Amino acid sequence: MERLQKFIAEAGYCSRRKAEELIKQGKVIVNGKVINELGVKVTGKEKIIINGILLKKETKEYYLLNKPRGIITSVSDDKNRKTVVELINTNKRIYPIGRLDYDTTGVILLTNDGEFANILMHPNNNIDKVYLAKLDGVITGKEINQLKNGVVIDGVKCEKCRVKLRKKDTKNNTCMVEIVIHEGRNHQVKRMFQAVGLNVLKLKRERVGIFTLDGLKSGEYRKLTPKEVAVIYSLR
Ligand code: URA
């Protein structure tokens, strides 16, 4: 059972807030009965009519985008910056799963399937998020161990994670470090490195679970295959 406004939004008709308005305005009919109060739940088998039109479930779409720098990971932006959704050619109401900063590049998934998004984001599923960071400084073995054991950001300890020095450039005092995390706190990777005194100059997400950037140049995207979608659903 699902709340009517959530069901309408997930069918792709409109946002959840708009669905609430339509319900309050008495524009939604469920099995012949006008519903004008919030709180009604549906199974999905009901005949739902909105503004005189039968509600049909939108087909689900799944995309993998290689996000370029200077694009916002959001559906819309009040500062009129370009969003990841604008890079995808679709008329479906898709949204990004999770967030990458404006200046972070790499793997971002987009969909209109709320359940798929929940599975990917759920902490119990321990999905790898692999980042490559260029750091302002050369990381030491001690700092790597601190990160591996979980540094504290905003008073909360991060989970243990995998950290690997991939390349160091002592001449320019920079290095490239791979870090694999399962959490998704705000600016997590940048703040983890800051916690050991290092600034991130560049950040790229190379992989999320089974999804890599293989074959995708910056700004390019592809649809997920049914098999890839099934792999994520199998984690439920
Ligand atoms: N961690 C960050 O700090 N930034 C990102 O964009 C993603 C993870």
Name the average pLDDT for the chain: 96
- Please report the pLDDT score of residue 33 as a whole number: 96
Single-letter amino acid code for the residue at 223: K
In percent, the amount of the chain with pLDDT more than 90 equals: 91
Residue 167 confidence (pLDDT): 98
Residues 135 and 165 in one domain: yes
Residues 48, 72, single domain; the answer is no
Same domain membership, residue 138 and residue 104: no
| Residue 229 shares a structural domain with residue 115 | yes
CATH number, domain with residue 10: 3.10.290.10
Q: Is 101 tagged catalytic?
A: yes
Q: Mind listing the pLDDT tens digit for each residue in 61-111? A: 999 999 999 999 999 888 899 999 999 999 999 999 999 999 999 999 999
Compute the C-alpha angle 143/146/151, nearest 5°: 120
Q: What's the average model confidence in pLDDT over 136-144?
A: 98
State whether 78 and 189 are in the same domain.
no
- In this structure, the answer to whether residues 134 and 119 fall within a common structural domain is no
CB atoms near residue 48 (< 10 Å): 20
- Per the structure, the complete domain to which residue 15 belongs is given by 2-54
Q: What is the pLDDT of residues 145-195, one digit of tens each?
A: 999 999 999 999 999 999 999 999 999 999 999 999 999 999 999 999 999
Of 166, 231, 177, nearest to 204 (Cα)?
Answer: 177
- pLDDT over 90 at 22, yes or no: yes
Same domain, yes or no: 76 and 97: yes
Q: Single out the residue of 110, 69, 115 nearest to residue 218, CA to CA.
A: 69
**118 in the same domain as 220:** yes
Per-residue pLDDT tens over the stretch 31-46 = 999 999 999 999 989 9
pLDDT of 198 higher than 90: yes
Contact 190, 58 (CB under 8 A): no
Boundary of a domain, candidates 54, 73, 98: 54
Q: CA 51 → CA 22, 34, 86, 149, distances in Å?
A: 8, 11, 28, 56
Read off the pLDDT of each residue in 46-67 and give the average, rounded to a whole number.
94
Average pLDDT value for residue range 9-37: 94
User: For position 77, what pLDDT does the model report?
Assistant: 87
214 C-beta neighbours (distance < 10 Å), count: 9
**CATH number of the domain to which 110 belongs:** 3.30.70.580
| 187 Cβ below 6 A of ligand 1 | yes
Q: What is the CATH number of the domain that holds 187?
A: 3.30.70.1560
CA of 43 to the centre of ligand 1 (A): 38
Chain length of the chain: 236
Q: 87 CA distance to ligand 1 centroid (A)?
A: 20
pLDDT greater than 90 at residue 4: yes
Does position 217 have pLDDT exceeding 90, yes or no?
A: yes
Q: What proportions of the chain, in percent to the nearest 5, are helix, strand and coil?
A: 25, 30, 45
Task: Report the domain count for the chain.
Answer: 3
Q: How confident is the model at residue 57 (pLDDT cuts 50, 70, 90)?
A: confident
Q: Which atom, in ligand 1's list, is nearest to the CA of 104?
A: 6
Indicate if 115 and 216 belong to the same structural domain. yes
Q: What was the pLDDT predicted at 40?
A: 95
Whether the pLDDT of residue 10 is over 90: the answer is no
Kindly state the helix (H) or strand (E) to which residue 230 belongs, with its residue range. Answer: helix 226-233
Q: Please indicate, yes or no, whether residues 119 and 225 belong to a single structural domain of this protein.
A: yes
Residue 181 pLDDT: 97
Taking Cα atoms as reference points, which of 112, 106, 105 lies closest to residue 85? Answer: 112
Rounded CA-CA distance 140/182 in Å is 23
C-alpha span between 129 and 87 (Å, rounded): 22
The tally of CA atoms less than 13 A away on the side-chain side of residue 19 is 21
- Which residue among 77, 78, 101, 169 is the active-site one? 101
Residue whose CB lies within 8 A of the most ligand 1 atoms, among 72, 130, 203, 206, for a mutation test: 203
Residues 102 and 215 in one domain: yes
189 and 135, same domain (yes or no): yes
